[in-house]
Amino acid sequence: MRSYFTAATLARLGDDMVAFTLVLLVLDRTGSAVLAGATGAAYALPAVVTGPLLGAWLDRTPYRRTALATNQGVLVVVMIALLAAVGHTLAWVTPALAAVAGATLPMVSGGFTSMLPRLVPAEQLPRANSFEAASFGTATIAGPALAATLAATLSVEVAGVAIAVTAMASIVAITRLPALPAGAQEPLLSSAVAGLRHLVRTPRLRASTITTTVLAGAMGMLLIALPLHVPTLHAPRSAAGYLWTALEVGSVCTALLSTRLQTRWRPEHLVMAAAAAYGVAFAFWPLAGSFAVLLVLAVLTGAIEGPLLPAMFAARQQYSPAALQGRVGTTAASLRVGTSALGQAAAGLLIPVLGTRAMLLVIAGTLVSAAALGVAGGVIPRRGSGVSRMSPKSLFS
């Protein structure tokens, strides 16, 4: 688990720096919120197609380490190319380069997480899930904070170089992971479809997946909104990175304490409850009159969201057979990344019209809607009926 935690966290650290650094790089060099949103969307959208295929391949191959390392190598090359291209070439070149790096993005989340059931005994999975959530949280804490600090004290270009260095370090760590045996050698396309079919046909897993997918769209909006909102509080754009860090500090603290909740509550219930509470907390963000107040709100908001990520992992593990773990993980990750891309693109278009305070309220409403859609999507059809009907008893039993 030490080797796993090191490799996964380093890979995620670079990934969490990329999204924030790309926004700063585009805004600093071009001043265009639309191009910033389009670049973020281009970085994320390819994963909608590649995620299921990558998951199917991971479940079949003994070369997981090679795949994970290759993903990081692509990030190194593309990041260097972006530093050279943004603001110095035609506008479409920037999103195109971002799309290349984003094609293998599900590897960073689902590709790693799908290994856990094979590395850890079943009785230790709740604890492992909490540490896995801490891995995500640690990267999300350190990534935006590091990018913000480097951009503010040195330059956004230095932050880009740091991403490349972190990705190279993760390649070294990945080589220390254990090799896992190959899975069933069924045809790749049908194997990929099997993961998506399982997500769609399993009501409790579907409830969790719908909620976290819509939540990712809200977080995509926030990624564009924060660098444009903090100047209204007399702080530089780069200070938005510290707000992301504050969110994750709160989240990690409660994620590590959520093991008992995982054993008492069904995972999809935790996911939906945390998402709804997360949205309510965000509704208070437009009221913050200073950056310091918003920073405190961010810590408290993150603490509310903390149990969500371990519960999301638990839902996949409890409601998916071992043979489908890779496909389910990367397919769900691709859906989240895709909606995050749409969220970034939407925010880039809406913020010039609505303003950032109204955008924060839109984000809050989207999070509450995510929980409501999860409840609706998790309804179990009554046997013998030709249609699916609302059955709260079947959903929450």
Given this model, what pLDDT does residue 143 score? Answer: 81
CA distances from 159 to 117, 141, 164 (A): 35, 15, 9
Judge whether 294 and 285 are in contact, CB under 8 Å.
Answer: yes
Given this model, what pLDDT does residue 344 score? Answer: 83
For 87-134, give the DSSP string: TTS-TTHHHHHHHHHHTTTHIIIIIHHTTHHHHS-GGGHHHHHHHHHH
Return the closest-CA partner of residue 302 out of 207, 210, 219, 224: 219
Half-sphere exposure of residue 354: CA atoms within 13 angstroms, side-chain side:
18
Give the separation between CA 394 and CA 87, rounded to whole angstroms: 55
* Angle (deg, nearest 10), helices 46-60 and 33-44: 20
Residue 50, class by beta-carbon neighbours within 10 Å (0-12 exposed, 13-18 middle, 19+ buried)? buried
Residue recorded with tokens 């909606």: 339
Phi/psi at 89 (nearest 5 deg)?
A: -130, 180
Return the closest-CA partner of residue 138 out of 4, 241, 252: 252
Q: What's the fold here for domain 2-396?
A: Growth Hormone; Chain: A; (1.20.1250)
DSSP label of 381? P
pLDDT means per 10 residues, the chain with 397 residues, are: 79 82 86 81 78 70 77 88 87 86 74 71 72 75 81 87 90 78 60 75 88 92 90 87 84 71 77 92 93 93 85 82 72 80 86 92 94 82 44 34
Given this model, what pLDDT does residue 140 score? Answer: 73
Given this model, what pLDDT does residue 197 score? Answer: 82
CA distances from 111 to 28, 83, 293, 328, 332 (A): 33, 27, 37, 10, 11
Return the closest-CA partner of residue 381 out of 162, 206, 142: 206
